[in-house]
Amino acid sequence: MANSIVIVGAQWGDEGKGKIVDILSEKADIVARFQGGNNAGHTVIVGSEKHVFHLIPSGILHKGKICIIGDGVVIDPEVLIQEIEVLKSKGLFHPEDLFISKDAHLIMPYHKKLDVARERLRGRGKIGTTGRGIGPAYEDKVGRCGIKCADLLNETDFRLKLKNNLMEKNHYIKNILHEEGFEMHKIYHDYMHYASILGPHIKNTSKLLNDSIKAKKKILYEGAQGTLLDIDHGTYPYVTSSSTVAGGACTGSGVGPTRIDSVIGITKAYATRVGEGPFPTELDGAEADKLREQGAEYGATTGRPRRCGWFDAVALRYAARVNGLDGLVVTKLDVLDNLDKVYICNGYTCEGSPMEEFPSESSILFKCEPVYEAMPGWNAPTTGVKKFADLPPNAQKYLKRLEELADVKIIMVSVGASRNDAIIISNPFE
What are the residue numbers of the active site? 14, 42
3 state SS of 390: helix
Distance (Å, whole) CA 427 – CA 262 = 12
**Distance, CA of 68 to CA of 22 (rounded, Å):** 14
Cα 73 from Cα 259, distance rounded (Å): 20
Cα 228 to Cα 239: distance, rounded to the nearest angstrom: 7
DSSP 8-state class, residue 342: E
Q: Hey, is 370 helix, strand or coil?
A: strand
Residue 94's Cβ-count burial label (10 Å; 0-12, 13-18, 19+) is middle
C-alpha closest to that of 266 among 27, 2, 42, 3: 42
Q: Where are the beta strands (DSSP E) in 54-210?
A: 66-69, 74-75, 98-101, 105-106, 202-203
Cα–Cα distance, 310 to 372 (Å, whole number):
9
Non-local CB neighbours of 400 within 8 Å, separated by 6+ positions: none
Pairing of strands 368-376, 341-350: antiparallel
* CA–CA gap between residue 296 and residue 380 (Å, rounded): 19
d(CA 177, CA 196): 33
Give the Cα separation of 320 and 186 in Å (integer): 47
| Contact of 59 with 25, CB cutoff 8 Å | yes
272/158 Cα distance (integer angstroms): 41
387: phi then psi, degrees, rounded to nearest 5 = -125, 140
Distance, CA of 58 to CA of 26 (rounded, Å)? 11
Structural contact between residues 75 and 40, judged by C-beta atoms closer than 8 angstroms: no
